[in-house]
Amino acid sequence: MSSKLFRDPLTFLDLPRSTNFIDADVAILGIPFDCARDLTRFGPRQGPNAVRHASVLTRNLMEDADPFPLDSIRVVDAGNVDLPMDDIDEAFAQIEAAMDSILQAGCIPIAVGGDGSVSLPQMRSLHRKYGEFALLHFDAHTDTWEVPESGHHSNANQFTFANTEALIDMQAAVHIGTRGPINASRNVRYAESLGYRVIPFSQYRSMGYQELLSTVKQIVGKRPVFICYDMDFFDPCVAPGVATPTPGGAMPEEGLELMRGLKGLNIIGIDINTMTPLHDAGGATAILAASLLAESLGVLS
Q: Where are the domains of the chain?
A: 12-132+226-300
Going by the DSSP 8-state scheme, the letter that residue 72 receives in this structure is T
User: 209-220 and 252-260 helices cross at what angle (nearest 10)?
Assistant: 40
Which fold does the domain 12-132+226-300 belong to in CATH? Answer: Arginase; Chain A (3.40.800)
Please give the model's pTM, rounded to 2 decimal places: 0.93
In this prediction, residue 150 carries a pLDDT of 72
Beta strands across the sheet bearing 26-31: 75-80, 26-31, 108-113, 266-273, 224-230, 133-138, 168-178, 197-200
Buried b / exposed e over 253-277, threshold 16 CB at 10 Å, is ebbbebbebbeebebbbbbbbbbbb
Q: Round to whole Å and give the CA distance between 158 and 123.
A: 9
Q: Round to whole Å and give the CA distance between 84 and 100.
A: 18
Q: Give me the residues paired with residue 182 across strands.
A: none
Dihedral class, residue 104 (left if φ above 0, else alpha if ψ from -120 to 50, else beta): alpha
In this prediction, residue 109 carries a pLDDT of 98
In this prediction, residue 36 carries a pLDDT of 67
Q: Give me the residues paired with residue 26 across strands.
A: 75, 108
**pLDDT tens across the length of the chain (301 residues):** 556 777 777 899 989 999 999 999 999 999 998 886 666 667 888 899 999 999 988 877 666 666 777 888 999 999 999 998 888 999 999 999 999 999 999 999 999 988 989 999 999 999 999 999 999 999 999 988 878 777 677 777 899 999 999 999 999 999 999 997 655 788 889 999 999 999 999 999 999 999 999 999 999 999 999 999 999 999 999 999 998 899 999 999 999 999 999 999 999 999 999 999 999 989 999 999 999 999 999 999 8
Q: Round to whole Å and give the CA distance between 284 and 282.
A: 5
139: part of which helix (H) or strand (E)?
A: none
Buried b / exposed e over 56-91, threshold 16 CB at 10 Å, is eebeeebeeeeeebbeeeebbbbbbbebeeeebeeb
In this prediction, residue 37 carries a pLDDT of 64
In this prediction, residue 38 carries a pLDDT of 64
In this prediction, residue 151 carries a pLDDT of 67
50: part of which helix (H) or strand (E)?
A: helix 47-62
Dihedral class, residue 180 (left if φ above 0, else alpha if ψ from -120 to 50, else beta): left
**Of 101, 60, 59, the residue nearest 78 (C-alpha):** 101
Q: Give me the residues paired with residue 272 across strands.
A: 112, 229
Half-sphere exposure of 179 (CA within 13 A, CB side): 20
Beta carbons within 10 angstroms of residue 106's beta carbon: 11
Q: Round to whole Å and give the CA distance between 247 and 292.
A: 20
Q: Round to whole Å and give the CA distance between 63 and 40.
A: 39
C-alpha angle with apex 235: 272 to 60, nearest 5 degrees? 55
